[in-house]
Amino acid sequence: MLLWLSTMSWLVVAKILPPFLSGDPPGHGVMDENVPVCWQIQCDGQHVGYAVRQAVPGAQSTTEIHSRVVLDDIPLRRMAPQWMSSIVDDLGRIRLDTRTRMVLDSLGKLASFDTKVQVNDLPLVVKVFGRVDGPNLELNFVSGGVTHEMSYPLPKASLLDGELIPEPKLLQVYVGRKWQVEMFSLFRPPTDALELLQAEVICEERILHNGSSTRARRIEYRNLSASGVTSEKALRATVWVADDGVVLRHDVDLINTKLRFDRRDDPEAIAHARKLLDLNTVATLTTPDARP
């Protein structure tokens, strides 16, 4: 009986469930509204900044996901697209500060988001406003008094992945699982800011995380062409997920460089994340009791 049960369990998990789950994105788990998530960012092996993220209750049964990315002393010209060249020319190595607020409705679906980008102490700020209107995502890009309005089809309007903000958790990730995801990028022109990616869990491997060897599943995100074909060369991101679904590492391939996000859960990193988010200033409602 035990042998039969173990055999049937393997059959269900390995052969029956994957066809039903392979087309849908993994679950994100329950978002902890009391603890922020922090990633340390590296570029060419050098520490360049932090990415932080936290979910808090919003108005009228909504949920707000606040995130911030701070990159110090980075070669932005290597990361910036051609359309941003007039902003970053002759700036050298600079500081990039981006803030995003994503609003989810009572069903956990994306309703709107806004992003603000600050370069050094320049008065020029790039702002992006997004709003879900039926099956479409309406975007407004504002920079230097110039506004670009774009509309994108978004049939599965749940969470919208951001290029510089990793997901804290991905559940039911197993080798061979595939799904599609829409990713919003500030490093692409306004007419092409939303990108459709094909995600695939490639393999299990061990990585060095926080000084110890940890087993993780590697997920590769590749650009999906208009014809629905995934290009082997169009690698956009690589993510490593632990057995419990926690995202440990996130590599982003930009135009001429790569950024690595390593997760940190130590008290010092959590305290720094709270300071960077400053939710008492930017959140719609009073934030949960902050723990040290």
pLDDT digits (tens, 9 = 90+) for 170-225: 988 999 999 888 777 766 666 666 778 889 999 999 999 988 999 999 999 998 76
Q: Which of 251, 261, 262, 195 is nearest to 224 (CA)?
A: 195
pLDDT band at 146 (very low <50, low <70, confident <90, very high): confident
Whether 179 contacts 24, CB under 8 Å: yes
**Rounded percentage of the chain residues whose pLDDT exceeds 70:** 71
Quickly list DSSP for 72-94: EEEEHHHHS-GGGHHHHTT--EE
Quickly list DSSP for 191-213: GG-EEEEEEEEEEEEEEEETTEE
- Residue 186's Cα: distance from chain center in Å? 12
Q: What pTM does this model have?
A: 0.78
pLDDT over 70 at 58, yes or no: yes
pLDDT band at 240 (very low <50, low <70, confident <90, very high): very high
pLDDT over 60 at 144, yes or no: yes
Q: What is the pLDDT of residue 242?
A: 94
Which residue has better confidence, 81 or 55? Answer: 55
131: CB partners within 8 A, 6+ apart:
111, 112, 137, 138
Q: What is the pLDDT of residue 119?
A: 79
Q: Coil, strand, or helix at residue 183?
A: strand
Radius of gyration from C-alpha coordinates of the chain: 20
17: CB partners within 8 A, 6+ apart:
none
pLDDT over 50 at 81, yes or no: yes
As a whole number of angstroms, the distance between CA 41 and CA 37 comes to 13
User: Between the ranges 26-40, 135-149, 199-213, 254-268, where is the mean pLDDT highest?
Assistant: 199-213
Q: What is the pLDDT of residue 16?
A: 41
Whether 99 contacts 116, CB under 8 Å: yes
As a whole number of angstroms, the distance between CA 238 and CA 65 comes to 22
